Amino acid sequence: MPDLDITHPKIYEYLERTLPEETEILREMGDYGRAQGFPIIGIQPGRMLHFLARAIGAKRVLELGSGFGYSAMWFALAVGDGGKVIMTEGKQANQDRARDYFSRAGLLERVEFNVGDALELAKKYPSPFDIIFCDIDKHDYPNALAIAREKLRVGGILIYDNMLWQGRVVSETDADTRAVLETTRALFDDDTFFTTLVPLRDGQSLSLRVK
Ligand SMILES: C[S@@+](CC[C@H](N)C(=O)[O-])C[C@H]1O[C@@H](n2cnc3c(N)ncnc32)[C@H](O)[C@@H]1O
CATH number of the domain where residue 75 is located: 3.40.50.150
Asked whether residue 153 is assigned to any structural domain, the reply reads yes
Asked whether residue 174 is assigned to any structural domain, the reply reads yes
Range of the domain at 34: 9-209
Asked whether residue 4 is assigned to any structural domain, the reply reads no
Give the pocket of ligand 1 (CB within 6 Å): 39-41, 65-67, 70-71, 88-91, 94, 117-118, 135-137, 140
- Which residues have C-beta within 8 Å of that of residue 34, sequence separation ≥ 6? none
Distance 3 CA to ligand 1 centre (A): 21
Distance 63 CA to ligand 1 centre (A): 9
Distance 84 CA to ligand 1 centre (A): 19
Distance CA 105, CA 196 (A): 33
DSSP character at residue 140? G
Domains: count for the chain: 1
pTM of the model as a whole: 0.97
- Taking CA atoms only, the protein residue closest to ligand 1 atom 15 is 136
Dihedral, 63, 65, 68, 73 alpha carbons, nearest 10:
-20
Asked whether residue 114 is assigned to any structural domain, the reply reads yes
pLDDT tens for the chain, 211 residues: list them: 456 788 888 998 898 899 998 999 999 999 999 999 999 999 999 999 999 999 999 999 999 999 999 999 999 999 999 999 999 999 999 999 999 999 999 999 999 999 999 999 999 999 999 999 999 999 999 999 999 999 999 999 999 999 999 999 999 889 999 999 999 999 999 999 999 999 999 999 999 999 9
